[in-house]
Amino acid sequence: MSKKPNEGKIFNLKPQLTLAMKLAASFAITYYGLLLVFEIFTVVYRRYYFDAVYLNQEELSLNSRDFLIQIAQLILSILLVFSLIQIFRKKVYGKAIFVSASLILMGFQLFFTGPFPFLKYILEALMLLIIAPIRVKKKIRMKDGKISIEEVKEEPPTEETTANEATEEKPATT
Protein backbone atom coordinates (compact mmCIF):
# COMPACT_ATOMS: atom_id res chain seq x y z
CA MET A 1 0.00 0.00 0.00
CA SER A 2 1.61 3.25 -1.08
CA LYS A 3 0.92 6.61 0.44
CA LYS A 4 -0.21 9.57 -1.57
CA PRO A 5 1.99 12.67 -1.27
CA ASN A 6 -0.73 14.65 0.55
CA GLU A 7 -1.47 11.88 3.04
CA GLY A 8 0.52 11.39 6.23
CA LYS A 9 2.16 13.43 8.91
CA ILE A 10 2.74 17.11 8.23
CA PHE A 11 4.35 17.91 11.56
CA ASN A 12 5.60 15.02 13.63
CA LEU A 13 4.43 15.77 17.16
CA LYS A 14 3.14 19.11 18.39
CA PRO A 15 3.09 19.57 22.18
CA GLN A 16 -0.22 20.64 23.68
CA LEU A 17 -1.14 21.63 27.23
CA THR A 18 -4.22 20.10 28.80
CA LEU A 19 -6.96 22.32 30.19
CA ALA A 20 -6.08 21.42 33.79
CA MET A 21 -2.44 22.32 33.13
CA LYS A 22 -3.45 25.64 31.57
CA LEU A 23 -5.68 26.52 34.53
CA ALA A 24 -3.11 25.45 37.11
CA ALA A 25 -0.31 27.29 35.29
CA SER A 26 -2.47 30.43 35.03
CA PHE A 27 -3.15 30.31 38.76
CA ALA A 28 0.51 29.51 39.47
CA ILE A 29 1.79 32.44 37.43
CA THR A 30 -0.54 34.73 39.39
CA TYR A 31 0.46 33.18 42.72
CA TYR A 32 4.20 33.21 42.06
CA GLY A 33 3.96 36.62 40.37
CA LEU A 34 2.47 38.11 43.53
CA LEU A 35 5.12 36.27 45.55
CA LEU A 36 7.75 37.84 43.28
CA VAL A 37 6.33 41.31 43.88
CA PHE A 38 6.39 40.61 47.62
CA GLU A 39 10.00 39.41 47.42
CA ILE A 40 11.06 42.53 45.50
CA PHE A 41 9.27 44.68 48.06
CA THR A 42 10.98 42.90 50.96
CA VAL A 43 14.41 43.17 49.39
CA VAL A 44 13.92 46.91 49.06
CA TYR A 45 12.29 47.31 52.47
CA ARG A 46 14.02 44.65 54.56
CA ARG A 47 12.13 45.54 57.70
CA TYR A 48 8.93 44.00 56.29
CA TYR A 49 10.69 40.68 55.67
CA PHE A 50 11.14 40.21 59.39
CA ASP A 51 7.49 41.02 60.00
CA ALA A 52 6.55 38.42 57.37
CA VAL A 53 8.40 35.59 59.12
CA TYR A 54 6.96 36.51 62.54
CA LEU A 55 10.14 37.58 64.29
CA ASN A 56 9.86 39.53 67.53
CA GLN A 57 11.40 42.96 67.92
CA GLU A 58 13.98 41.51 70.32
CA GLU A 59 15.11 38.95 67.73
CA LEU A 60 15.38 41.51 64.95
CA SER A 61 18.82 41.46 63.38
CA LEU A 62 19.72 42.74 59.96
CA ASN A 63 22.62 40.41 59.30
CA SER A 64 23.82 39.26 55.90
CA ARG A 65 22.62 35.63 56.30
CA ASP A 66 18.98 36.69 56.37
CA PHE A 67 19.53 39.00 53.43
CA LEU A 68 21.14 36.21 51.37
CA ILE A 69 18.20 33.93 52.13
CA GLN A 70 15.89 36.68 50.97
CA ILE A 71 17.88 37.13 47.75
CA ALA A 72 17.79 33.34 47.14
CA GLN A 73 14.01 33.33 47.52
CA LEU A 74 13.79 36.27 45.10
CA ILE A 75 15.87 34.37 42.54
CA LEU A 76 13.69 31.27 42.96
CA SER A 77 10.54 33.39 42.48
CA ILE A 78 12.02 34.85 39.29
CA LEU A 79 12.86 31.32 38.07
CA LEU A 80 9.32 30.14 38.81
CA VAL A 81 7.69 32.96 36.86
CA PHE A 82 10.17 32.45 34.00
CA SER A 83 9.52 28.70 33.93
CA LEU A 84 5.75 29.19 33.85
CA ILE A 85 6.13 31.55 30.90
CA GLN A 86 8.24 28.89 29.18
CA ILE A 87 5.58 26.27 29.92
CA PHE A 88 3.02 28.45 28.15
CA ARG A 89 5.45 28.82 25.24
CA LYS A 90 5.65 24.97 25.17
CA LYS A 91 9.37 24.79 25.82
CA VAL A 92 10.74 21.50 27.09
CA TYR A 93 12.93 22.97 29.82
CA GLY A 94 10.09 24.98 31.40
CA LYS A 95 8.75 22.08 33.44
CA ALA A 96 12.18 20.99 34.63
CA ILE A 97 12.94 24.49 35.91
CA PHE A 98 9.47 24.77 37.47
CA VAL A 99 9.69 21.46 39.33
CA SER A 100 13.20 22.04 40.68
CA ALA A 101 12.63 25.69 41.64
CA SER A 102 9.28 25.01 43.32
CA LEU A 103 10.72 22.13 45.36
CA ILE A 104 13.66 24.26 46.46
CA LEU A 105 11.36 27.19 47.31
CA MET A 106 9.06 24.92 49.34
CA GLY A 107 12.14 23.65 51.17
CA PHE A 108 13.25 27.22 51.90
CA GLN A 109 9.79 28.13 53.14
CA LEU A 110 9.50 25.03 55.29
CA PHE A 111 12.95 25.44 56.79
CA PHE A 112 12.84 29.17 57.48
CA THR A 113 9.18 29.92 58.24
CA GLY A 114 8.15 26.58 59.71
CA PRO A 115 5.30 24.19 58.92
CA PHE A 116 2.50 26.23 60.49
CA PRO A 117 1.08 27.94 57.40
CA PHE A 118 0.64 24.42 55.95
CA LEU A 119 -2.13 25.42 53.52
CA LYS A 120 0.38 27.18 51.27
CA TYR A 121 2.42 23.96 51.08
CA ILE A 122 -0.69 22.02 50.09
CA LEU A 123 -1.54 24.63 47.44
CA GLU A 124 2.00 24.65 46.02
CA ALA A 125 2.16 20.83 46.03
CA LEU A 126 -1.17 20.64 44.17
CA MET A 127 0.06 23.11 41.55
CA LEU A 128 3.24 21.07 41.21
CA LEU A 129 1.33 17.80 40.82
CA ILE A 130 -0.97 19.23 38.16
CA ILE A 131 1.68 21.04 36.12
CA ALA A 132 4.51 18.49 36.39
CA PRO A 133 3.14 15.53 34.35
CA ILE A 134 4.31 14.88 30.82
CA ARG A 135 2.79 16.96 28.05
CA VAL A 136 0.04 15.64 25.86
CA LYS A 137 1.20 15.34 22.28
CA LYS A 138 -0.98 15.61 19.22
CA LYS A 139 -0.38 14.59 15.64
CA ILE A 140 -1.46 16.82 12.81
CA ARG A 141 -2.43 14.86 9.71
CA MET A 142 -3.57 15.97 6.29
CA LYS A 143 -5.86 13.69 4.33
CA ASP A 144 -7.78 14.69 1.21
CA GLY A 145 -6.91 18.35 1.77
CA LYS A 146 -8.32 18.39 5.33
CA ILE A 147 -6.26 18.75 8.48
CA SER A 148 -7.09 16.56 11.47
CA ILE A 149 -5.55 16.61 14.95
CA GLU A 150 -5.17 13.32 16.82
CA GLU A 151 -4.02 12.70 20.36
CA VAL A 152 -0.94 10.48 20.57
CA LYS A 153 -0.28 8.35 23.63
CA GLU A 154 2.28 5.88 22.34
CA GLU A 155 2.76 4.81 18.82
CA PRO A 156 2.77 1.05 18.37
CA PRO A 157 5.57 -0.23 16.19
CA THR A 158 4.58 -0.55 12.56
CA GLU A 159 5.17 -3.61 10.42
CA GLU A 160 8.04 -1.85 8.65
CA THR A 161 9.97 -1.19 11.88
CA THR A 162 9.52 -4.75 13.15
CA ALA A 163 10.63 -6.13 9.77
CA ASN A 164 13.69 -3.85 9.81
CA GLU A 165 14.56 -4.94 13.35
CA ALA A 166 14.25 -8.62 12.35
CA THR A 167 16.63 -8.19 9.39
CA GLU A 168 19.12 -6.22 11.49
CA GLU A 169 19.54 -9.08 13.98
CA LYS A 170 23.00 -10.54 13.74
CA PRO A 171 23.55 -14.27 14.00
CA ALA A 172 25.52 -15.44 17.02
CA THR A 173 29.13 -16.24 16.23
CA THR A 174 31.17 -18.73 18.13
In angstroms, the CA 31 to CA 25 distance is 10
* Residue 70 reports pLDDT greater than 60: yes
Regarding whether 71 and 149 lie in a shared domain, the answer is no
Rank 22-31, 85-94, 114-123, 137-146 by mean pLDDT and report only the highest: 22-31
Residue 6: what pLDDT?
A: 47
Of 6-20, 61-75, 126-140, the least confident: 6-20
Regarding whether 160 and 121 lie in a shared domain, the answer is no
Residue 59: what pLDDT?
A: 56
The domain of 157 spans: 8-12+136-168
Residue 113: what pLDDT?
A: 80
Regarding whether 125 and 148 lie in a shared domain, the answer is no
Regarding whether 163 and 94 lie in a shared domain, the answer is no
Residue 2 in domain: no
Containing 41, the helix (H) or strand (E) segment is: helix 19-44
Regarding whether 121 and 53 lie in a shared domain, the answer is yes
pTM for this predicted structure? 0.65
Write the CA distances from 2 to 6, 115, 157, 161, integer angstroms: 12, 64, 18, 16
Does 149 or 82 have the greater pLDDT score? 82
Regarding whether 149 and 104 lie in a shared domain, the answer is no
Regarding whether 141 and 125 lie in a shared domain, the answer is no
Residue 60 in domain: yes
Residue 1 in domain: no
How many domains would you assign to the chain? Answer: 2
